[in-house]
């Protein structure tokens, strides 16, 4: 830290992304990306003409993308905000509605506490239940803004729209539901944003639409709330989405058939993996996302992570106290998961010797 660095930021602890190593080729199951390429429609649309128009600024309203997201979710374009990854959307969320603080689960997306430090927003964390699930009735008396991911980050555990509606109807503050993983088996609460002016849903094209590298995220909610986010964006980075990402995102939203094929395959492979791991003595959370949290009594989370890495498979060891026995495994292709399971079997049999 230089002597010029702002004092109020001196204790900030930056987010630590999953490894993106370049030393060798790994089977990469550590950052919840899709194992499948973007839709062929995306690839087709990003032609030479598009690349050669990069001399011009992008559309600051990202109309094509906003319209495609609005169409997919059956809302009006004025109810949609887009950002450079949902990380940027979430940053604006904390800055816009954090004056009286935010409340969230003790274990969720690792960026929430970082943004709260970045923007000097108080962040109160509420314990998970013993089974790692979120108990929304614990939030009924919260007076400030609320944020949680559904399915939750790290655990993959899902909360039904009925329970979320009950919370949203009981509190006065903004409730932000981060639906980064909703497409792998959950039901979105976007329809409830028409009924509740304090509900905002965020989403990303990084996971279920195979576009992590394009950096596209969005928020859906009441017009006034979306205006708040646009006010911040136009005060900070008006051209926050580049030309290629606007087109890629719009095409990915439009190609529903390819999207459904990918998310269905991931969900089936997830169930296959859960079953195969439990057959060899693992305990997995009942995840509805594109990853599972798994543990075995034979090895610690850290030992398993290191043994897999040595053998060319990257999973995520989060090291967080409440899930320190676990590793988080992204659902890859079926072939990758079979290779993972075979490798785990050989690690376990070596450990027994
Ligand atoms: C991956 C993830 C994000 C960030 O998504 P990007 O659009 O890639 O920035 C946000 N929230 C949760 C819960 C995530 O898992």
Nearest to 329 by CA among 266, 258, 260: 266
Nearest to 286 by CA among 94, 152, 191, 155: 155
| Predicted pLDDT of residue 45 | 94
Question: Hey, how many other C-beta atoms are within 10 angstroms of the C-beta on 310?
Answer: 10
Q: What share of the chain is helix, strand, coil (3-state, %, to 5)?
A: 45, 15, 40
| Predicted pLDDT of residue 194 | 98
Residue 107 near residue 1, CB atoms below 8 Å:
no
d(CA 153, ligand 1 centre) in Å: 9
d(CA 3, ligand 1 centre) in Å: 33
Write down the H helix ranges in 46-160. Answer: 48-52, 63-73, 85-97, 111-118
Residues 6+ apart with CB under 8 A from 240: 82, 83, 84, 88, 233
Ligand 1 pocket check for 180: Cβ under 6 Å: yes
Atom of ligand 1 nearest to the CA of 206: 8
Ligand 1 pocket check for 178: Cβ under 6 Å: yes
Residue 136 near residue 175, CB atoms below 8 Å:
no
Ligand 1 pocket check for 210: Cβ under 6 Å: no
d(CA 298, ligand 1 centre) in Å: 32
Please state the φ and ψ torsions of residue 345, each to the nearest 5 degrees.
-60, -45
Helix (H, G, I), strand (E, B) or coil at 228: helix
What whole-number distance in Å separates Cα of residue 153 and Cα of residue 105? Answer: 10
Instruction: Tell which one of 16, 87, 151, 152 to mutate to probe ligand 1, the residue whose CB is within 8 A of the most ligand atoms.
Output: 87
Ligand 1 pocket check for 317: Cβ under 6 Å: no
What whole-number distance in Å separates Cα of residue 262 and Cα of residue 271? Answer: 15
d(CA 54, ligand 1 centre) in Å: 26
Instruction: Tell which one of 82, 152, 153 to mutate to probe ligand 1, the residue whose CB is within 8 A of the most ligand atoms.
Output: 153
Ligand 1 pocket check for 84: Cβ under 6 Å: no
Say how many residues make up the chain: 353
Check: pTM over 0.95? Answer yes or no.
yes
Nearest CA to ligand 1 atom 12: 180
Strand bridging mode 283-284 / 291-295: antiparallel
What whole-number distance in Å separates Cα of residue 15 and Cα of residue 38? Answer: 26
Nearest to 327 by CA among 155, 135, 105, 133: 155
Ligand 1 pocket check for 212: Cβ under 6 Å: yes
Write down the H helix ranges in 28-184. Answer: 40-45, 48-52, 63-73, 85-97, 111-118, 161-170
d(CA 164, ligand 1 centre) in Å: 20
| Predicted pLDDT of residue 77 | 98
Give pLDDT tens digits along the chain (353 positions).
Answer: 899 999 888 889 999 888 888 877 899 999 999 999 999 999 999 988 788 999 999 999 999 999 999 999 999 999 999 999 999 999 999 999 999 999 999 999 999 999 999 999 999 999 999 999 999 999 999 999 999 999 999 999 999 999 999 999 999 999 999 999 999 999 999 999 999 999 999 999 999 999 999 999 999 999 999 999 999 999 999 999 999 999 999 999 999 999 999 999 999 999 999 999 999 999 999 999 999 999 999 999 999 999 999 999 999 999 889 999 999 999 999 999 999 999 999 999 988 77
- The alpha carbon torsion through 65, 71, 73, 77 (nearest 10 deg) reads 60
What whole-number distance in Å separates Cα of residue 176 and Cα of residue 219? Answer: 9
Ligand 1 pocket check for 339: Cβ under 6 Å: no
Which letter, b or e, does each residue of 154-174 get, where b requires 16 or more Cβ atoms within 10 Å of its Cβ?
A: bbbbbbebebbbebbeebebb
Nearest to 139 by CA among 150, 122, 149, 125: 125
Instruction: Tell which one of 206, 209, 252, 293 to mutate to probe ligand 1, the residue whose CB is within 8 A of the most ligand atoms.
Output: 206
């Amino acid at each position: 830290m230089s002597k010029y660095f702002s004092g109020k930021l001196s204790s900030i602890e930056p987010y630590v992304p999953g490894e993106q190593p370049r030393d060798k080729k790994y089977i990469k199951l550590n950052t919840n990306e899709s194992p499948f390429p973007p839709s062929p429609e995306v690839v087709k649309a990003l032609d030479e003409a598009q690349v050669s128009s990069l001399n011009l600024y992008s559309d600051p309203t990202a109309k094509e993308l906003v319209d495609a997201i609005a169409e997919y979710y059956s809302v009006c374009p004025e109810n949609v905000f887009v950002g450079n990854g949902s990380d940027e959307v979430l940053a604006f969320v904390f800055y816009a509605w954090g004056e009286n603080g935010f409340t969230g689960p003790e274990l969720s997306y690792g960026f929430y506490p970082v943004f709260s430090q970045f923007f000097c927003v108080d962040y109160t964390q509420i314990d998970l239940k013993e089974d790692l699930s979120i108990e929304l009735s614990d939030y009924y008396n919260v007076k400030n803004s609320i944020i949680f991911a559904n399915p939750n980050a790290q655990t993959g555990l899902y909360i039904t729209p009925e329970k979320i509606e009950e919370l949203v109807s009981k509190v006065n503050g903004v409730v932000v539901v981060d639906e980064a993983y909703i497409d792998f088996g959950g039901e979105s609460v976007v329809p409830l944003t028409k009924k509740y002016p304090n509900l905002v849903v965020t989403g990303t094209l990084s996971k279920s639409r195979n576009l992590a590298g394009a950096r596209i995220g969005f928020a859906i909610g009441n017009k006034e709330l979306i205006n708040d986010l646009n006010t911040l964006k136009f005060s900070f980075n008006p051209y926050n989405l580049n030309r290629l990402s606007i087109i890629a995102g719009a095409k990915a939203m439009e190609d529903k058939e390819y999207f459904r094929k990918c998310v269905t395959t991931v969900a089936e492979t997830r169930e296959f993996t859960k079953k195969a791991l439990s057959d060899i003595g693992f305990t997995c959370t009942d995840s509805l996302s594109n990853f599972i949290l798994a543990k075995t009594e034979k090895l610690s989370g850290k030992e398993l992570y290191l043994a897999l890495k040595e053998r060319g498979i990257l999973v995520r060891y989060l090291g967080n106290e409440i899930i320190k026995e676990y590793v988080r495994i992204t659902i890859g292709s079926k072939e990758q998961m079979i290779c993972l399971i075979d490798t785990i079997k050989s690690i376990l049999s070596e450990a027994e010797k």
